[in-house]
Structure 1
Amino acid sequence: MTAGLLFSIVIAYFVILLVVAWYTGRNSNNESFFIGNRNSNWMLVAFGMIGTSLSGVTFVSVPGDVGHTAFSYLQIALGNMLGYVAIAFVLLPLYYRLQLTSIYNYFNTRFGIKAYKTGASFFILSRTLGATARLYLVVNILQNLLQETFKDQFTVPFWVTTMIILLMILLYTFEGGVKTIVYTDTLQTTCMLAGLVIVIIYILNHLNLSVGDSLQAMGEKGMSQVFFWDPNSPHFFLKQILGGAFITITMTGMDQEMMQKNISVKRLVDAQKNVMTLSVIFVVVIILFLFLGGLLYLFAEQINVTASADKLFPTLALDARYMPPAISIIFIIALISALFPSADGAITALTSSFCIDILNIQTDKPRSEEEKKKIRRIVHLAFTAVFLVVVLIFKRIDSSSMISVILKVASYTYGPLLGLFAFGILTKRTVNDDMVPKIAVAAPVLCFGLEYFQQYLFNGYKLGLELLIINGLFMFIGLWLNSRNLQKDRPLS
C-alpha cells in the first residue's frame, strides 16, 4: 500500500466524519452534548452501539484468539444476552424513572454524596483504562503500517500517530457530543461490518470452501469447539456465561458511555427495544468474527504464515503477498471504523461524567450556558491528553492479546460498581456513606490477593471472568456490614 493511498483513505474517511459532525452539531448545547436532548432515534442508537461494544479489539483479538481458545468466546456472547435482558428490564426503568443525566446520581439519591463520587470515580478509571487499551491496539496496527509504508523515507513516532488520531476524534466530538456520536457510530459500524463480511467472502473463495466445508475443516483442527466442560479450565462454560452476563451488566448497563446513548432515547420502551435488538445482533456478529478467525488460521496454514493472536489478521490483510490491495483497503477502513467508536464515545462520556459528577456543573451553583460550555470544553481537552498518556503507557507494557487485558481490567474496576448497584436495588438498607470509598478500594485489593494466591487456595482451579462477580460480592458484603435498615422516610430510589 502506497503512502498516498493510505493518507487518502484516512483523510477521506475523516472528512466524512467532520461533515456528519458539522451537520448534527449545529446549534448544539450542553444538553445535546450530554444526552442528545433525549431525542435520539432508538434504531440508530442500537446499530451504532454495536460498533462501540465491539471496537478494534473485537475486530483483531477475537479472530486471533480462535487458534488458542477455539469458539469459546461465544459462551461469553451468550452470557452477554442475559446481561442485556437485565439492563433492559431492571436498570433502564430505574434510570428513566429518575430522569438521570448521569447514571451515578442514583448513588447520591440512594446512599449519599460519597457513594455518588465513588461510583463516578470508578467509572472514570474503568472507562479510561478500557478505552485506551482498545485505542492502543488499533493505533499500534496503524503505526506498524506507517512504518512499513515510510521505511525508506522517514520514521513516524508512535506518539505522533496517537496524537493525530486523538485530535481527529476531538474535532468531530467537540461540539455535538452524544448528538453527533449517535450518527457517526452508525456510519462506522456499517463500515466495520461490511469489511468483516467482505473479508469472509474473499477467504472462502480463495480457499474454495463452502461455509459447511470450512466449519468441518476448523472442527478437524479443534478450532470450532464452543462449550468447555472442565471446571478447572478458564473457559469453563458456566463461568464464561455468568461472566459474560455480568460483564455486560457492568460494562454496558453500569457504564455512563453506553447508557448515555440509551437514555438519549425519548421513551423507555424504545430504549428497551434498542438493548434487546443489540443483544441479538451482537451474538450474530460475534459468530461472524469467530468464523473469520477460523478462516484466517486455515488461510495462514495454507500459505505457511505463522503469525497468531493479535498479529494474525493485520499480517495477512496488509501484506500484498497474501491478500490483494483491495482487501488491504477494506481492512484499513474497517479498522478505522472500529477505532473511532471505541474512543469518541469514551472521551465524550468521561467528559460528561467528570463535569456532572465530579465538578457538579449542573447543580453546584448557578452557571450560564456559556460558562458550562467553557468548562466542558476544557475537560474534553484534558481527557484527550490523558488518553494520549495512557496509550503511551500501554505501548511500553504491550500484550499479545489486548482483549484479555481489557476483561482483566474490567474485573477489578467494575466490581465496586456492580456491588453498589446490586446493594441499592436488591436491599432496603442504608449504608454509612463515609465507608463506601474505603470498601470500594478494599474489594479489588481482596480480589488481587485471591488471584495471586489462587494456586494455593483453590487446588488447581483458575479464576477467570468470575473475578468480577467475586469483586462485586466483596463490595456487597462490605456495604451490608456497614449498613442498617433504611429509614421509612428515605426513598429507595
Structure 2
Amino acid sequence: MSPTILLCFLIGYFLLLIIISFVTSQKSSDNSTFFVANRNSKWYLVAFGMIGTALSGVTFISVPGEVGAPSGNQFQYFQFVLGNAVGFIIIATVLLPLYYRMNLTSIYGYIEKRLGHYSYKTAASIFLLSRTLGSATRLYLVVIVLQRFIFDSYGVPFWLTVLISLALIWSYTFKGGLKTIIITDTLQTFFLVLSVFLTIYFICNSLDFNIPQAFETVKNSSYSKIFFFDDFLINKFYFSKQFIGGIFVTIAMTGLDQDLMQKNLSMGTIQEAKKNMFTFTGVFVILNIFFLSVGALLYIYASKNGIDIPLDHVTGKPRTDLLFPEIALNNLGSVPAIIFMLGLTAATFATTDSALTALTTSFCVDFLGMAKAENVNAENAVKKRHTVHIVFSVLMFLVIIVINALNSSSVVSLIFTIASYTYGPLLGLYSFGLFVKKRGLHDKLVPIVCLLSPFLCYLLASNSAEILGGYVFSVELILINGLITFIGLLFISKKTDAQTRF
C-alpha cells in the first residue's frame, strides 16, 4: 500500500475531527463544557463512544496478534474479558451511584471527603501517573505502525512522528474538551466497529471462506481454546487468575479512573449512566469475540500464504503486534489497507484524546481547584487549562520516547503490567473508604503506604516462584497490590466512634 495514499487518508481523517471540534465548541468552550460537557450528554452516544475509548489500538492490533503468540495464548484473553464484564456491572451498581450522589466533577473528590487531603492528592496523583503511562503505551503502538508503513518512507524520525500525532490530537481537543470528545469518540467507534467487520470479510474473501465457514474454521483451529485449567501455579493463563484479574483491573482502570468515569458523569441522571454502562458492557464482550476471531483468521491466512511474524526493527525479534498491519497493509489490497488504517487510527486516537482530556480535568480540578466556586469564573482559568493540556501532551511524548527505547514485548501485556502496579493503591484507598467504618486514618502517612505497596508487589512477583512454591502471578497481581495497600491503611488508622480522621 502506497505510503502517500495512507498519509493523505490520515490528513483527511484529522481534518474531519478538527471540523467537528470547531462546530461543537462554537457556543461554549468554558471549563464546564470541557470538564463535564455541561452534564447533558446523551447516554447512548456515551455508551457507543466508550467502546472506542475502552478498546484502543491495543485491542485492535495486540489482542489479535497474541492469539498465535509462541507462548500459546490462543483465546485465553476472553477469560479476562469475562472478568471485565463483571467489573463493569460492579461499577454501574456500586461506584456510579456514589459519584452521582456526591455530584463530583473529579471522582477523587470522594477520597478527599472520606479520607482526607493527603489521601485525595495521592489518589489523583496515582491516576495522573497511571493514565499518562497507559495512554502513552497505547499511542506508542499506533505510532510504530505509522512510522513503519508511512513515515519511514519519507525519512521522518520516530520522535517527530510521535510529536505530529500528539499535535493532531491536541488540535481537536484543547478547546471543546469532553463535549467534543463525546462526538468524536462516537464517530471513531463507528469507524472501529466497521473496520473489524470489514476486515473479517476481506480476510474470509482472501481465504475463499464465507462467514459461517470462517467461524467454523476458527472454532476447529488450534487457536480457539478459551478456558485454561491446567498448572495453576505456573500457568499465568489459568482461568481464575485471568477472571479475577479482569474484575479488579476493570474496577481500577475504569471505575477508579477519571477518564472513563468523566464520560459517565457528563449525563444528567444516574439512570442514564447505568443504561450507558450496561449497554457498553454487552457490546464490549461481543466485540472482543470478533477481535479474537480476527486473530485466528490472521494466523490461518499467514500460514496459508507463508507469512512470518514481522521482526521488530530495534530487537530483530518476532513481534506479534505487527502481524495484523503487515497482512492488512501489504497483502490484502488497497481497500482493506485503508479500512485497517481507519480502524487503527480511530481506536487509538479515541483512547488518547479522551485520556488527555481526563488528565487535564483531573489536574485542573484536583490540584488547581477549578471546580470550587471561587475559581470557576476566574479570568485566567481557561488559559491555565490550555497550559495544562499542553504539558500533559509533552509528558506523553516523553513517555513514548522512553518506551520505544526500552520495550520490545507485546503492548497488551505491558499495559496490564503497568496497571497492576499503578492502579493497585487506588483499589486499596477506595476499598478502605467504602468498607472500613469508624476508624480514623493518619492521612499524612497515606502517600508512604501507596508508594510501598507497588514496591512490595514487585518484590513478591519477582520472587513468587521461590516464595510460593512455583506460583506465577498474572493480572491478578493488582488485587494483591490493593490488598497490601488496604492492610497498610489499617495499620495507620485507629478505632474511633465516628468516621473521622486524624
Q: Tell me the CA shift for residue 147 of structure 1.
A: 4.2
In 2, Cα distance between the equivalents of 1:424 and 1:461? 31
Q: Does the 8 Å contact 1:146/1:156 carry over to 2? A: no
In 2, Cα distance between the equivalents of 1:74 and 1:11? 35
1:437 corresponds in structure 2 to 447
- Give the secondary structure class of the aligned counterpart of 1:337: helix
TM-score (norm 1): 0.96
Please show how residues 283-432 of structure 1 align to structure 2 within 5 Å: 283-307=285-309, 309-319=320-330, 322-363=331-372, 366=375, 368-428=377-437, 429-432=439-442
2:494 corresponds in structure 1 to 484
Q: Tell me the CA shift for residue 335 of structure 1.
A: 1.1
Q: Tell me the CA shift for residue 403 of structure 1.
A: 0.4
- Give the secondary structure class of the aligned counterpart of 1:225: coil
1:234 corresponds in structure 2 to 236
In 2, Cα distance between the equivalents of 1:415 and 1:489? 24
Letter in 2 for 1:254: L
2:223 corresponds in structure 1 to 223
Structure 1: any 5+ residue segments left out of the alignment? none
Segment of structure 1 superposing worse, 114-123 or 366-375: 366-375
CA offsets, 1:46-78, max 9 Å, x none?
Answer: 100000000001100000000131111111111
1:144 corresponds in structure 2 to 148
- Give the secondary structure class of the aligned counterpart of 2:9: helix
Q: Tell me the CA shift for residue 212 of structure 1.
A: 4.7
Please show how residues 21-36 of structure 1 align to structure 2 within 5 Å: 21-26=21-26, 27-36=28-37
In 1, Cα distance between the equivalents of 2:497 and 2:343? 54
Structure 2: any 5+ residue segments left out of the alignment? 310-318
Alignment counterpart, residue 467 of structure 1, candidates 461, 474, 477:
477
Q: Does 1:105 align with 2:109?
A: yes
Q: Does the 8 Å contact 2:36/2:262 carry over to 1? A: yes
- Give the secondary structure class of the aligned counterpart of 1:333: helix
Rate the CA distance shift 1:464–1:89 in 2: closer, same or farther, 3 A.
same
2:164 corresponds in structure 1 to 164
Q: Does the 8 Å contact 1:136/1:395 carry over to 2? A: yes
Q: Does 1:265 align with 2:267?
A: yes
Letter in 2 for 1:329: I
Q: Tell me the CA shift for residue 211 of structure 1.
A: 4.3
Letter in 1 for 2:222: G
Q: Does the 8 Å contact 1:215/1:224 carry over to 2? A: no
2:315 corresponds in structure 1 to none
Please show how residues 76-155 of structure 1 align to structure 2 within 5 Å: 76-147=80-151, 150=153, 154-155=154-155
- Give the secondary structure class of the aligned counterpart of 1:370: coil
Q: Tell me the CA shift for residue 364 of structure 1.
A: 9.1
Q: Does the 8 Å contact 1:30/1:369 carry over to 2? A: no
2:74 corresponds in structure 1 to 70
In 1, Cα distance between the equivalents of 2:53 and 2:151? 28
2:246 corresponds in structure 1 to 244
In 1, Cα distance between the equivalents of 2:349 and 2:445? 38
In 1, Cα distance between the equivalents of 2:8 and 2:499? 63
Letter in 1 for 2:477: L
TM-score (norm 2): 0.94
Q: Does the 8 Å contact 1:203/1:299 carry over to 2? A: yes
In 2, Cα distance between the equivalents of 1:36 and 1:134? 25
In 2, Cα distance between the equivalents of 1:49 and 1:442? 33
Equivalent residue pairs, number: 485
- Give the secondary structure class of the aligned counterpart of 2:268: coil
CA offsets, 1:398-455, max 9 Å, x none?
Answer: 3231000000000000000000011111111331101110100111111001011112
Rate the CA distance shift 1:301–1:55 in 2: closer, same or farther, 3 A.
same
Give the CA RMSD over aligned residues. Answer: 1.5
